[in-house]
């Protein structure tokens, strides 16, 4: 056996002789065969294998390997339960980028005749002598005239954004999201140019009529959240109350949509604190006990008709945390909260899309749901 081995490696007999004499008592034979550099490489390779094995053992012992695998492969599937398998019960959306969308489409920055837009706005506000049987035809005429004025301007992006909201509500119903809160118009938006505010108020008037029909068709409860409703045109505010009261009766109820109009998150917190104090004074329970977080939460997301429907609206939020959205989506690449749901979004997961609101698709919403399902929400634990 020794002769065969020596014959096969006879090109280096001194190494074989050393190996046969000393065996594995030292590593100098490996250094002779591989050289010093090869010995270093072999040592590093062995150390890497050992470190990998130690890391694997640690992960298995800590239970992290299994948990990470489950999170990354968690499926999103449809279910017959009221809430989808994704677990999102409340989605909030800042619908940003309507004007930018209009500009990117090559439209002019301003409508050609802002004075006529003001006239349409005044007509909608003041003309109350239209016969009930002719209201539909009259509104259609006003709307067509209005569209002709904004169709080639960047402000037409607001109209397209309103149509996107209609489609988005349907997407939420299909994906089994039971509550949607959207930021339609903030109190800061009153600072925009008068012609743009007029356009938005006119669009609200027409789109709220469309939402009224959509609510009956698809089982939607429309709630309007406004911290400063006095600034809204009287006819728009009246229509909002009508739509909300009518949609309260819709059954079966498939989704609750909170539309924030003339809304401010800071004002909502202030109003909530004032409401808690007023309630204590009314109940004659004014004491030195501090106001609790739950008391303030109970005053959040109050609709414009809630005072007359306290018991009914309390069922919308069976848990005090149900007012808090799990997910907030903002479009158009902006990464700020912009005075929206400041109190409610303490533990909300934020997602930002580069797309403008009119270009958002159902696939984008599904991607957000998928990413949410992969996040590890510990809520401070």
Q: How far apart are CA 292 and CA 280, in angstroms?
A: 12
Q: How far apart are CA 289 and CA 306, in angstroms?
A: 27
113: confidence class by pLDDT, cuts 50, 70, 90:
confident
Q: What is the pLDDT of residue 83?
A: 57
- What are the tens digits of pLDDT across the range 60-94? 554 433 333 333 334 444 433 445 688 899 999 99
- What are the tens digits of pLDDT across the range 236-263? 999 999 999 999 999 999 999 999 999 9
pTM for this prediction: 0.76
**Average pLDDT of span 49-64:** 60
- For the cut 60, the answer to whether the pLDDT of residue 3 exceeds it is no
Q: What is the pLDDT of residue 11?
A: 45
Under DSSP, the state recorded for 92 is: E
Q: How far apart are CA 57 and CA 51, in angstroms?
A: 10
Q: What is the pLDDT of residue 144?
A: 87
Beta sheet of 220-225, edge-to-edge order: 220-225, 255-263, 179-186, 91-94, 327-330, 349-352
344: Cβ–Cβ under 8 A, 6 or more apart, which residues?
92, 297, 300, 301, 323, 324, 325
Q: What stretches of 205-254 adopt beta strand conformation (E)?
A: 220-225
Among 92-96, 102-106, 153-157, 358-362, name the one with the lowest average pLDDT: 102-106
**Assigned token pair, 234:** 């009287």
Q: What percentage of the chain exceeds 90 in pLDDT?
A: 53
DSSP assignments along 330-369, one per residue: E-TT--S-TTSSTTTTTTPEEEE-SS-GGG--HHHHHHHH
Q: Does domain 90-106+156-374 have CATH number 3.40.1180.10?
A: yes
Q: What is the pLDDT of residue 115?
A: 87
Q: How far apart are CA 364 and CA 352, in angstroms?
A: 11
Q: Exposed, middle or buried: residue 94 (CB in 10 Å: 0-12, 13-18, 19+)?
A: buried
Q: What is the pLDDT of residue 105?
A: 85
Q: What percentage of the chain exceeds 70 in pLDDT?
A: 76
**Average pLDDT of span 201-205:** 93
């Amino acid at each position: 056996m020794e002769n065969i081995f020596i014959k096969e490696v006879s090109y280096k007999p001194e190494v074989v002789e050393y190996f046969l004499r000393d065996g594995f008592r030292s590593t100098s034979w490996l250094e002779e065969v591989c050289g010093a550099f090869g010995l270093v490489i072999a040592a590093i390779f062995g150390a890497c294998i050992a470190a990998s094995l130690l890391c694997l053992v640690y992960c298995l012992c800590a239970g992290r390997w299994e948990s990470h695998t489950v999170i990354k492969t968690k499926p999103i599937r449809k279910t017959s339960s009221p809430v989808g398998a994704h677990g999102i019960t409340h989605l909030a959306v800042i619908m940003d980028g309507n004007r930018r969308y209009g500009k990117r489409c090559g439209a002019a920055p301003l409508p050609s005749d802002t004075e006529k837009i003001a006239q349409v706005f005044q007509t909608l506000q003041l003309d109350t002598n239209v016969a009930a049987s002719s209201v539909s035809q009259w509104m259609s005429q006003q709307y067509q005239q209005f569209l002709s004025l904004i169709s080639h301007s960047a402000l037409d992006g607001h109209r397209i954004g309103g149509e996107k909201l209609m489609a988005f509500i349907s997407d939420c119903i299909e994906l089994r999201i039971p509550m949607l809160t959207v930021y339609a118009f903030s109190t800061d938006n009153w600072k925009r140019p008068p012609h743009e505010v007029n356009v938005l108020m006119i669009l609200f008037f027409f789109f709220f009529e469309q939402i009224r029909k959509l609510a009956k068709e698809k089982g939607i409860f429309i709630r309007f959240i406004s911290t400063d409703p006095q600034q809204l045109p009287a006819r728009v505010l009246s229509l909002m109350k009508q739509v909300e009261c009518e949609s309260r009766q819709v059954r079966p109820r498939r989704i609750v949509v909170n539309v924030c109009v003339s809304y401010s998150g800071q004002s909502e917190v202030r109003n909530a604190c004032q409401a808690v104090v007023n309630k204590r004074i009314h109940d004659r329970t004014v004491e030195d006990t501090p106001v609790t977080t739950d008391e303030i939460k109970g005053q959040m997301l109050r609709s414009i008709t809630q005072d007359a429907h306290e018991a009914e609206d309390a069922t919308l939020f069976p848990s005090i945390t149900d007012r808090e959205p799990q997910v907030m989506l903002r479009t158009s690449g902006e990464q700020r909260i912009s005075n929206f749901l400041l109190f409610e979004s303490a533990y909300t997961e934020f997602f930002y899309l580069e797309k403008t609101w009119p270009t958002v698709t159902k696939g984008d919403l599904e991607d957000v749901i998928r990413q949410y399902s992969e996040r590890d929400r510990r809520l401070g634990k």
